[in-house]
Structure 1
Amino acid sequence: TDLETKVSLNLNLLDKDAVPQVMDLRSALQAYLDHRIDVLVRRSRFRLSKIEDRMDVLAGYLVAYLNLDKVIKIIRTEDEPKPVLIKTFALNDGQAEAILNMRLRSLRKLEEMEIKGEQKDLRKQQSELKKLLKDESLRWGVIDKELVDLKTKFGKSTKLGARRTELGDVPTIEEKALLESAVTRENVTVVLSEKGWVRAMKGHDLALSSIRYKEGDEACFVLEMETTDKLLLFATNGRFYTLCVDKLPGGRGFGEPVRLMIDLPGEAEIIGLTKYESEDKFIVASSDGRGFIVRSQDVLAQTKNGKQILNLSGKGKAASFAHFDGDTIAVIGTNRKLLLFPAEQLPEMARGRGVILQKYKDGELSDIKSFVLKEGLSWASGERTRTETDLRMWRGERAQAGRLPPTGFPRSNRFS
């Protein structure tokens, strides 16, 4: 599991003065709490004002109760009872208005104990609100209780707070299918020459002898592909480069220099060319005998600058590139020593120097290959392919020196 997961938030909010600003999470939470305090203060002041108004009205009702008959007589006989009530009982305008707005039968129901009981309750509320407005710690206590109540009412375990929708998986859209919908799918043969000229010739099964090159140039890689494919190139600087096949120049002429399409340093050369398949794995190895397995998804580059996969040290360079599709790894050095070891001893990495594949006293790594042990080790010999099945002599452990290869193995010290 990840030790750390980062989630980016853009908290562009309005502050208490309605001014937009970008806040961090702490500031946003503090702004919310300050807002709750402000709401509490305004709510308390409003309630306090209403209590004072109600207590004023109750004082008028008490006067009316104590002088009920006289109040009823004034209301019945006077054309303008309000000023008479104010003058007779020393009432204010609000008290007189409240008495006049009552129905006469309500006046009969007024009871002194009920009025005084409500007055007592209101005085208690008034006292508590005044204390709350004076004491900040009391206000924060109320906010704390409100937050607990909110969690109780709207928490994940409640009916209101429970998720009412389901989180679905993002539909997977294969990049290749998307590319095919925009590009006409055609068979092509990609040709990369020794001097770095690349082109895509229409069709498959081309006669290699019919392919023309510039004077002094010849074929280096020939690969049958489709216009919807992506082309992976591996160079001696340890970088992978990616080209869309439909963007390659056509077969007329000699093509174009591949260095115009990728940022390949002058001293670097292409040593591997293959079609991108999302499930493929490759073995990459440096001249100093280090290497590892890498997934094709990890080498896919998005820019002309490519993607650094094999880290190099000193004067070392990337020396070999091969598909990983077997249970055994074969390594041979320029000192003509061959070593076979189990593929499980080679780690899978996304980037790095890798582990020691073979030790060299004099020489460096020449080539590497994976194969199925029971099928034997094959190599190209002229126009023929030779296979050695009795490999007990060369089997060992990773990082050993190895032995001289079987009789008939190419003097180039390469498997193909």
Structure 2
Amino acid sequence: MPQDDDITPDLNTSEPLRRALGSRYLQYALSTIMHRALPDARDGLKPVHRRILFAMRELKLSPSGGFRKSAKITGDVMGNYHPHGDAAIYDAMARLAQDFNLRYPLVNGQGNFGNIDGDNPAAARYTEARMARASELLLEGLAENAVDYRPNYDGTLEEPIVLPAAFPNLLANGASGIAVGMATNIPPHNLDELIEGCLALIAAPDLPDDDLVALIPGPDFPTGGVIVEPAESIRTAYATGRGAFRLRARWEVEDLGRGQWQVVVTEIPFQVPKSRLIEKLAEVIQTRKVPLLADVRDESADDVRIVLDPKSRTVDPELMMGMLFKHSDLETRFSLNMNVLIDGVTPKVCSLREVLRAFLDHRRDVLARRSQHRLDKIDHRLEVLEGFIIAFLNLDRVIDIIRYDEAPRAALMREVWGRAFTRATSEKDYVAPPAGEGELSELQAESILNMRLRSLRRLEEMELRRERDELLKERAGLEDLLASEKLQWKRIATQLRAVQAEFGKATDIGRRRSDFAQAADVEDVPLEAMIEREPVTIVCSKMGWIRAMKGHVALDQAFKFKDGDAGRFAFHAETTDKIVLFGSNGRFYTILAANLPGGRGMGEPVRLMVDLPNEAEIVDLFIHKAGAKLVVASTAGDGFVVPADDVIAQTRGGKQVLNVKDGVRALVCRAVAGDHLACVGENRKLLVFPLVELPEMGRGKGVRLQSYKDGGLSDLTTITLAEGLRWLDPAGRTRHEPDLTEWLGKRASAGRMAPRGFPRDNRFT
């Protein structure tokens, strides 16, 4: 498989562009998948992380040793193993040191390595690093032929293909990456629980999935929080390798006395920057998506402490937090996509069982290789000890050969000794060899020649015999281990328990941080129910400046407006009311009365609250009444009846109800109250027809109300035919036309001239 930079095409050959692009892109995709984005299921590391840890080992940066500049480490990694940008390498190393990103950090950092607020680490020249204890466990056995090596990118050095990995790092620390056509996202888990799961699989390879999930109930995030995903969903995710986990912030109610209280958030969801979370909460307050929340403060020091102040002491904390979980990052969803490289080659979406099995099989292979390596070392040492003991048993002859022979090594190898060393377990097993069978090997002869004179004492001979006996005993144990699968799994279980004792739940780093809880889903409570009901007076000017004055003030009083502006709408309402705005573009907009600015100033432009275009005018402004019906019409004389509940908009953009073309605008919106509709055109002709002739629609252009030769519609109203038609004359007196038979007609007819005394502006009100 080519390395990342080993995909240069051969420029001396020619081939079709389609084939060339396909071949090159396939090489690039495979390189990205195998050498950059996806972690290995065995050690849970990507190549850059593996190379960082290996380079730190080569620099002898042990957990108990000193720190080295991050720039030095980054330079060694880049120059020797990872030919990519130093910024990318340093960012990867910095992440390994962040305890809010890694459940079990692999690097000990000294200096600014970033924080939970989302701030970046300091430059590499300012920080220092060394390996953490967990890294030592991942690297343990590299010197004992535990894994295969491969040449580095330029062939001058060698690097391990995979690390021995004494614990399941893939699940313990998680992983994320985006390759070509595939991605991975694995949450961190509790190492104590993972080891319990591994031990259970060793004892019972066919362990049911339910029993495995009982031992590993879910992720354990470094920032804590509360997992509220249902247990059945977690089981399905672990069985398929795909799913998601709902994670909520941890909070508590803090009593302030005298009935006052506040909510304190002590743990936030994983990978949510605290600074961004505070900004989102402030935005929720500003947009009043959660009217129960009054203020948010960040009082964090080394720990997380976010204070949420309620609107009043009567607010239900559970209801307020439920709304915040819905509208902010206090609740997130962490996706699970367990796409990893099996044996470092094949990408596959694995289940929890498959990932643990890949780790355990790797540990068995590592154990066998380390045992065989140790066995070879013992055989080498036993061969040396054999020569030493022969030399001690024939010390005078050995000294004589060394003193007088011109080629002592060859003479030692030719000599037939009186007593040979056999690989036995006790002294009684030594027998005198037949003539010609006591020769020393070249290694033994060389070792005897290199032996110090001080070693020629009786005490040293006894030490050699003791070492021989211990090595023989160890060798027998290794041979038994390599021959027995049962003993191998027993040894692996012992090693895992040793890791568990160091990182178990009894330790500070090993205790579970993320708890489980049942999500109390918050019902969609109407915003009116969360707003304290108070009387207000809504005032809106001709230029669209709107405000809500406290209490019901007299509507005929003089209100203050900006220079050049004047009043247009003024009516009494409640803070729980929804205010409906109808624009000349045919869209309805909804504003909560509680969200309107106070009445001390001139208010605010309504266009800041809703997305009413600058070229559109305000046609009408009124209180929404559930169950009512409205009649809307355009200047062209088209209209229809629409239920008031259907015009409520959920967004700032409003809701399109009356469709208008270029040159036509929405003109009027009236509440339906009566059985007939009266409309008057710009030609002063009045038409009265039954409302049943007008269709009820949710959206559209409508039907023709009245026909005109010239001009269009001026105004309309709904009336009760038996009560006649009333209007105000220019003097302010009420005029009444009880008999409307003369103006009755069919919808879309022309009508007749309005009654005597009808207002000259052709308006009913």
2:644 & 2:611 partners in 1: Cα distance?
20
- CA shift digits 1:107-140 (9 cap, x unpaired): xxxxxxxxxxxxxxxxxxxxxxxxxxxxxxxxxx
Q: How does 1:22-61 map to 2 (within 5 A)?
A: none
Partner of 1:412: 761
2:608 aligned with 1:263: no
Shift of 1:243: 0.2
SS in 2 for 1:374: helix
Partner of 1:398: 747
SS in 1 for 2:740: coil
- Partner residue of 1:364 out of 695, 712, 720: 712
Amino acid at match of 1:355: V
Partner of 2:651: 303
2:728 & 2:611 partners in 1: Cα distance?
32
Shift of 1:384: 3.0
2:634 aligned with 1:282: no
Shift of 1:199: 0.6
8 Å Cα contact 2:629/2:672 also seen in 1: yes
- CA shift digits 1:88-108 (9 cap, x unpaired): xxxxxxxxxxxxxxxxxxxxx
Distance 1:239 1:228, change over 3 A: same
Q: How does 1:284-363 map to 2 (within 5 A)?
A: 284-363=632-711
Q: Which moved more, 1:292-301 or 1:212-221?
A: 212-221
SS in 2 for 1:297: helix
Unmatched runs of 5 consecutive residues or more in structure 1: 1-11, 23-172
Shift of 1:314: 2.9
8 Å Cα contact 1:188/1:202 also seen in 2: yes
Q: How does 1:17-416 map to 2 (within 5 A)?
A: 19=240, 178-382=526-730, 383-416=732-765
1:297 & 1:282 partners in 2: Cα distance?
10
2:684 & 2:723 partners in 1: Cα distance?
23
2:555 & 2:695 partners in 1: Cα distance?
40
2:609 & 2:242 partners in 1: Cα distance?
45
SS in 1 for 2:753: coil
Shift of 1:325: 1.4
2:553 & 2:568 partners in 1: Cα distance?
17
Count of aligned pairs: 252
Shift of 1:277: 1.2
Give TM-score, length-normalised by structure 2.
0.32
8 Å Cα contact 1:14/1:21 also seen in 2: no
Shift of 1:358: 0.5
Percent identical pairs in the alignment equals 51
Amino acid at match of 1:405: A
Shift of 1:216: 2.0
8 Å Cα contact 2:555/2:571 also seen in 1: no
8 Å Cα contact 2:631/2:639 also seen in 1: yes
Shift of 1:407: 0.9
SS in 2 for 1:208: coil
- CA shift digits 1:202-242 (9 cap, x unpaired): 22241533311112221111111000100001010000000
SS in 2 for 1:243: strand
Shift of 1:337: 1.0
SS in 2 for 1:370: strand
Amino acid at match of 1:217: D
SS in 2 for 1:246: helix
1:305 & 1:337 partners in 2: Cα distance?
37
8 Å Cα contact 2:588/2:657 also seen in 1: yes
Unmatched runs of 5 consecutive residues or more in structure 2: 1-232, 244-522
Shift of 1:280: 0.9
2:234 & 2:546 partners in 1: Cα distance?
54
Q: Which has the larger radius of gyration?
A: 1
2:621 & 2:699 partners in 1: Cα distance?
19
Distance 1:228 1:14, change over 3 A: closer
2:670 & 2:748 partners in 1: Cα distance?
19
Shift of 1:396: 0.3
SS in 2 for 1:259: helix
SS in 2 for 1:301: coil
Distance 1:199 1:339, change over 3 A: same
1:307 & 1:181 partners in 2: Cα distance?
24
Shift of 1:195: 1.0
Amino acid at match of 1:310: L
Give TM-score, length-normalised by structure 1.
0.57
